[in-house]
Amino acid sequence: MNIINTKDLSKEYSSKSFSKDKILALNNFSFEVEAGEIFGILGPNGAGKTTLIKILLGITHRTKGEINIFGKEINDESYKLKVGYLPENHKFPNYLTGEEVLTFYGKMSGLNKTEVKKRSDEFLKLVDMEKWRKTKIKKYSKGMLQRLGLAQALINDPELIFLDEPTDGVDPIGRKEIRDVLESLKERGKTIFLNSHLLSEVEMICDRVAIMNKGALIRSGRVDEITLIPDNYIVHCSDLDESIMSKLLNNFKSTVHGNNEFHFKSDNIEELNRLIDFLRQNNILIRGIQREKNTLENMFINLIGSQN
Amino acid sequence: MIFSTLVLSTFREAMAKKIFLGFFAISTIIILIFLFLINVDSVEGMVDMVGASGEEGIRKLVIGFEVAMIDISYLLIITFCLISVSSFIPSMLEKGNIDLLLSKPISRTNIILAKFIGGVLLVFISLIYLIGFVWIILSSKSGFWHFPFLYSILWLTLSFAVIYSLIIFIGLISQSTILSILVSFFLVFIVCPILYVREATIFSLVENSAAQFVINFFYYILPKPSDINKITTDIITGEAVNSYMPVFSSVLFMLAVLSASIFYFKKKDY
């Protein structure tokens, strides 16, 4: 089941006040997010990621297109009862304590006093901010504010959580803890929509990603699928002697990486089978054959580079 | 529940920004001055003297105090309120804050209404404290319980609400506290008083009928806090109110500006 479904979503901005010149922030953007997945949105600065999130939350208005969230076109605010949001560079009223922030945003999310109290305790503990709950947030560090922001996004026990740069300003240990929180939310069946510049992080926790550039969707899919390098294979095998290596280089256009591994490229599956036959005839034990993968970061850089 | 949370958050913000404290400090000082004044020997003597001239004398003295009180409240309290609440909308619109607010299940119309009601309630409660205490002091001292003075709480709150609606509109468009204060002050303390005396003073200087028409046009479309203040005084002194048109036109102005604010806020991208 799709939790989010958009079709031909577009957003135009005026380049200046009273100007007729338009900037296309989103261009016929269609995508869907399935229930229970962690979905990552990637793109260079100005690609339209934050605009997309803001449109989905009604903070910015779309110029055209359809948006379905929880199976319904978003016409009013009621769907927001089941949504949590951590904006990039969020700003809470700095005269509040951590606990008061959660109380205020909990009530603003439709919770009553008892629910707010119970969930504040639960989520302050989850983000390891219990001992700072009575401290005014103006004394918080960036990392502490980010943790509190995450607790705020979860306070109403939402089914769908939008996180815009959730680990911004958080140290490596804190980032790991936030990743663990996201994993546990996923286990509880929550759907997470994540915008992060940290591609290694996205690669670690996202099930699917969409890559956008200049307001358009340029690729989407499962992380393990889109990082695959087409027709490239890595073969792990028993020791290769000089003559075998030479034949692999000359006959199969392979590149050898040590005595037990070589890379083979072919778009013809019969050729792959010929290679296997060759190895078996020469008593080479095949330990494994896997599709060659790129890192998400390399794939992203190559993809965006080819677009610009 | 969500609406009332946002209304109460205005109070919380006012507490944090020491607006309430400032308000109560100023009000308390005024109350103490009143207490002091009516206990000093010369005033006590005057009260005794007026008391000797009968109930009418006491009534006149009390009403005189009350009218003075209205002018003080209008100048001090409304000024203080306008400065204090001008930051409510710009601070709400700060990046990172407005995003969060708009992601919550509350309509943009209700956000503006909650901010408006919160500010007006704040001033209403503060005026109850100030006017209420002064009324109790004057009444218990004089024995003359003059209830029309209490109506001034509503009239002063109305004056504030009308100007506050404009502050909200300017705050939404400019996102600037300073500009909101400047425009509201310019309107309340320069434009409105000038328009208020247009027939008595301005028209004797400007005889051109087209110019007079323009001045009248602005008089009728703009809020009229000076006129409302005069109506308040008339009600307290027991004089006949010539016309309630300034009240109706000010309320219409408030509704129009609030509607414009809501329309603008609903259309705006953040």
Domain boundaries, chain B: 2-267
- Percentage of chain B lying above the pLDDT 70 cut: 94
- Percentage of chain A lying above the pLDDT 70 cut: 99
Sheet holding A261-265, edge to edge: A255-256, A261-265, A228-237, A286-293
Is A286 in the B-facing interface, judged by CB distances under 8 Å?
no
Q: Which of A105, A104, A155 is nearest to A125 (CA)?
A: A155
Beta-carbon count within 10 A of B204 CB: 9
Is A108 in the B-facing interface, judged by CB distances under 8 Å?
yes
Confidence of residue B166 (pLDDT cuts 50, 70, 90): very high
> In 3-state terms, what secondary structure has residue B224?
coil
Contact call for A60 and B267, based on CB within 8 A? no
Whether pLDDT at A77 is above 70: yes
> Structure tokens of B238?
């027991």
Q: What is residue B199's predicted lDDT score, i.e. its pLDDT?
A: 85
Q: What is residue B35's predicted lDDT score, i.e. its pLDDT?
A: 80
What mean pLDDT is reported for chain A? Answer: 90
Which residues in chain A are contacts of B13 at CB distance < 8 A?
A: 93, 95
Whether pLDDT at A3 is above 90: yes
The DSSP symbol for A136 reads: B
Amino acid residing at B169: F
A14-18, A141-145, B211-215: the lowest-pLDDT one = A14-18
What is the tens place of the pLDDT at every residue in B39-58?
Answer: 766 566 666 666 566 677 77
What is the tens place of the pLDDT at every residue in B101-129?
Answer: 999 999 999 999 999 999 999 999 989 99
Q: Which of A58, A87, A107 sits opposite B5 (nearest CB)?
A: A107
Whether pLDDT at A6 is above 90: yes
Q: SS3 for B249-270, per residue?
A: HHHHHHHHHHHHHHHHHHHCCC
Q: Which of A279, A280, A283, A287 is nearest to A260 (CA)?
A: A287
- Percentage of chain B lying above the pLDDT 90 cut: 46
Whether pLDDT at A19 is above 80: no
Residue of B214 and B1 predicted with greater confidence:
B214
Count Cα neighbours of B47 within 13 Å in the Cβ-side half-sphere: 18
Phi-psi region for residue B26, left (φ > 0), alpha (ψ -120 to 50) or beta? alpha
Average pLDDT over residues A122-126: 91
Contact call for A77 and B105, based on CB within 8 A? yes
Across chain B, which distance is largest between two alpha carbons, in Å? Answer: 69
**What H or E segment, with its residue span, contains residue A126?**
helix A113-126
Burial A16-40 (b: 16+ CB within 10 A, else e): eeeeeeeeebbbebebbbeebbbbb
Contact call for A93 and B269, based on CB within 8 A? no
Average pLDDT over residues A228-242: 89
Q: What are φ and ψ of residue A265, in 5° steps?
A: -125, 125
Distance of CA B70 to the CA centre of its chain: 11
Min Cα distance B268 → chain A (Å) is 7
Q: What is residue A1's predicted lDDT score, i.e. its pLDDT?
A: 83
Which residues in chain B are contacts of A61 at CB distance < 8 A?
A: 267, 269
Would you say A99 and A130 are in contact if contact means Cβ atoms under 8 Å apart? no
- Percentage of chain A lying above the pLDDT 90 cut: 60
Q: What is residue A135's predicted lDDT score, i.e. its pLDDT?
A: 95
Return d(Cα B29, Cα A246) in angstroms, integer.
99
